[in-house]
Structure 1
Amino acid sequence: MQEMYIGSALCEVTPGGELMLPRRFFETSRSRCIDEFLFIGLHEESPCLIAFDRVYVLQRQFEIAERFAKSPRAFHDHHQLRRTYGFVDTAPLAPDGMLQLPATMRERGGIGTAALLVASGACFELWDLESVLAHGPSDLVTLAALLQTHQVTKEVTHGDIVSAARPCAGAQSATQSTLRVQPLPPLSPRHDPVGRPRRSG
């Protein structure tokens, strides 16, 4: 039985269209892929992209053949065929988990600087984060907001640990002040008790 994609995540997307797959998504891709790339295509109904492998294509081909066998005259779903086989491009998957989104598919999917990855079993969806938060389905808006909150909390906690463990590079310690200090002459000790009034005569 093939491994299934499970879970969701937020990923930064570089200007060149690269994104680092989360570990769980990457491990599933490596276990499913018989190639060194994934296919990136358009979702049949939603305004997002889907990422899948050759095994997924073969499964869809089998499903289409079954439908055609049951009713060859009634089957005229050219739109689905184009989505499955035509509006698709390959995305190289590097050994470190970096996925290179094709420029054409990234533009068609409207993927900007951040993507929301949502698993859907044999494939996973790639949504533009900004579009989801602005006018996406309510369940995805909630999911994206929760992931953002978790990510910020994780970064803040990690930052506290790092700063407590070692100072930032280039930071000045208290004993390495760059201020110049003017030396003062020694002060004479006071002979009158501090805080008590002096006696007259």
Structure 2
Amino acid sequence: MNERGLYQGSGLGLVDDKGRVAIPAALRATLALNAPRADGKDGGVVVVGVHQDAPCLVAYDQPYTATLKSQLDVQELDAPTGRRDFNVKRAAALGELVPFDGSGRFILPELLLFQAGIAQNAFFYGVFDYFEIWDPKALIGFDGIPEPVKSACRFYCGKKGIAL
């Protein structure tokens, strides 16, 4: 059995008026490694949902869904009250399977764009098990984001002339 690839890398994509944006090549390669198409062609599906604690989206390969569910099962039972906290899964279950083509282009569903506040640009950042998708201004303004992540976002925005 092959080991899972880890999502590392970053990039910035322009979101068009239909919500279409491209996944950066390094992240797309990990999607292909973790969930190759049966027919061997490029492209596939990515699961995209709302982050539980930050104003962004999370995305990952479909096989990771089972791992995520197992982690949430543990969190649900470890609630401080000793009872099951059903909101643990409710907050994470809003993922949608979204197809992407060989160039990594996919359409972010309108609801997810709305929930993450993503409009014209999307900053992608690999976080090993998954990658995050941010509105650049939201990322820069969010407390708790490490400075190297903010710096990467500023770098890509600066290269494309995007003021933050």
Q: Which bin holds the TM-score, normalised by the shorter protein?
A: 0.7 to 0.9
Whether contact under 8 Å (1:14, 1:113) holds in the other structure is: yes
Whether contact under 8 Å (1:38, 1:93) holds in the other structure is: yes
Aligned to 1:11: 13
- Matched residue count: 149
Whether contact under 8 Å (2:45, 2:100) holds in the other structure is: yes
Q: Specify every segment of 5 or more residues in structure 1 that has no aligned partner in the other structure, as ranges.
A: 154-201
Question: TM-score, with normalisation over the residues of structure 2?
Answer: 0.78
Relative to structure 1, the CA distance from residue 17 to residue 131 in structure 2 (aligned partners, 3 Å threshold; closer, same or farther) is same
Whether contact under 8 Å (2:77, 2:84) holds in the other structure is: no
Coordinate RMSD, CA, aligned = 2.5
Whether contact under 8 Å (1:90, 1:102) holds in the other structure is: no
Aligned to 2:97: 90
Provide the secondary structure at the position in 1 that maps to 2:123: strand
Amino acid at match of 1:141: K
Structure 2 residue 134 is matched with structure 1 residue 127: yes
Q: Which one has the bigger helix percentage?
A: 1
Residue 37 of structure 1, aligned match among 45, 64, 70:
45
Provide the secondary structure at the position in 1 that maps to 2:31: helix
Shift of 1:96: 2.1
Amino acid at match of 2:142: G
Shift of 1:111: 0.8
Amino acid at match of 1:8: S
**Quick one: distance in 2 between partners of 1:90 and 1:109?**
17
| Higher CA-based Rg | 1
**Quick one: distance in 2 between partners of 1:50 and 1:70?**
23
Cα deviation 1:113-158 (Å, max 9, x = unaligned): 101111111110010113334x234624333112233x359xxxxx
Provide the secondary structure at the position in 2 that maps to 1:54: coil
Question: TM-score, with normalisation over the residues of structure 1?
Answer: 0.65
Q: Which has the higher contact order (CA 8 A, sep 6+)?
A: 2
Structure 2 residue 148 is matched with structure 1 residue 142: no
Q: Which one has the bigger strand percentage?
A: 2
Shift of 1:18: 0.8
